């Protein structure tokens, strides 16, 4: 796993590089915003740790420009203590998480690990849209299109599809889908999952009788491979 560290304080760079290297990560660092942006757009990183206060472009500008250029690498921002505004702005501009300075090294490492675990291939999924076959899912507008025609999904079907996309290639049990997509507010049975998946297949599969995106994994559950 390759991590880019954009930070201008040499002490933090040194400590973090040592610690992350000892955890098995390959670390590259940049001491200002422009260099960070250049590295992040030209090399493949699995995650970026981005300080807000930087010479040149600040962390917010770097994050915004990255997202504008279509770079979807997860970003953990380092913000000053108590600056709630920083966190809100950072998340709005496309950061995935933030850690407040001064931080415990163990906390940052835990956040990095959590982020990398959650999105093993997150560089491929944009926060705005996801395309598979001729289906395009617009997350912000909560709309789905086949080519340019809208596909009408219920709120539950949409949530189910989003969950599949977030966890593509993973086998998901009916119980997990029930817990994550339906939650505990109702008491549906696992049969409910099967029914909704059948409906979803009717709407997004080219041939619902022979699904190519939402596959049945016999005895286990379902797997999305779009």
- Sites of contact with Ca ion (CB under 5 A): 8, 51, 53
Cβ-based nearer residue to Ca ion, 51 or 97: 51
Q: Least distance in Å: CB of 64 to Ca ion?
A: 18
The least distance separating Ca ion from the CB of residue 80, rounded to whole angstroms, comes to 9
Least separation, in Å, of the C-beta of 36 and Ca ion? 11
What is the smallest separation between the CB atom of 51 and Ca ion, expressed in angstroms? 4
Which residue lies nearer to Ca ion by CB, 24 or 82?
Answer: 82
Report which DSSP code applies to 149.
Answer: E
CB of 59 to Ca ion, least distance (A): 8
Report helix, strand or coil for 48: strand
DSSP letter, residue 216: E
- Residue number with the smallest Cβ distance to Ca ion: 53
Long-range contacts from 110-115, C-beta under 8 angstroms, 24+ separation: 111/76, 112/3, 112/20, 112/25, 112/47, 112/49, 112/76, 115/47, 115/74, 115/76
Is the CB of 48 or the CB of 214 nearer to Ca ion? 48
Radius of gyration of the chain (CA): 20
46 or 51: CB nearest Ca ion: 51
Largest CA distance in the chain: 60
Asked if 213 and 203 count as a contact pair (C-beta separation under 8 A), the reply is: no
**For Ca ion, the closer CB: 53 or 123:** 53
């Amino acid at each position: 796993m390759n991590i880019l560290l954009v930070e201008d304080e040499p002490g933090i760079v040194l400590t973090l590089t040592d610690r992350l290297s000892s955890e098995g990560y390959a670390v590259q660092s940049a001491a200002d915003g422009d260099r960070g942006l250049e590295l992040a757009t030209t090399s493949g990183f699995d995650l970026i740790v981005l300080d807000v206060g930087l010479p040149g472009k600040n962390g917010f500008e770097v994050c915004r420009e990255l997202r504008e250029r279509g770079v979807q690498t997860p970003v953990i921002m380092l913000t000053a203590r108590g600056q709630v505004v920083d966190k809100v702005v950072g998340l709005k501009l496309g950061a995935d998480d933030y850690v407040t300075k001064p931080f415990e090294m163990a906390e940052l490492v835990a956040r990095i690990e959590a982020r990398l675990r959650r999105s093993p291939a997150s560089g491929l999924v944009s926060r705005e849209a996801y395309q598979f076959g001729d289906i395009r899912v617009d997350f912000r507008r909560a709309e789905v299109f086949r080519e340019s025609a809208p596909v009408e999904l219920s709120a539950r079907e949409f949530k189910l599809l989003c969950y599949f996309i977030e966890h593509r290639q993973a086998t998901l049990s009916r119980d997990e889908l029930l817990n994550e997509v339906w939650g505990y507010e109702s008491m549906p049975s696992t049969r409910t999952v099967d029914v909704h998946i059948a409906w979803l297949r009717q709407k997004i599969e080219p041939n619902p009788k022979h699904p190519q995106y939402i596959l049945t994994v016999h005895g286990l559950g379902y797997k999305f491979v779009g």
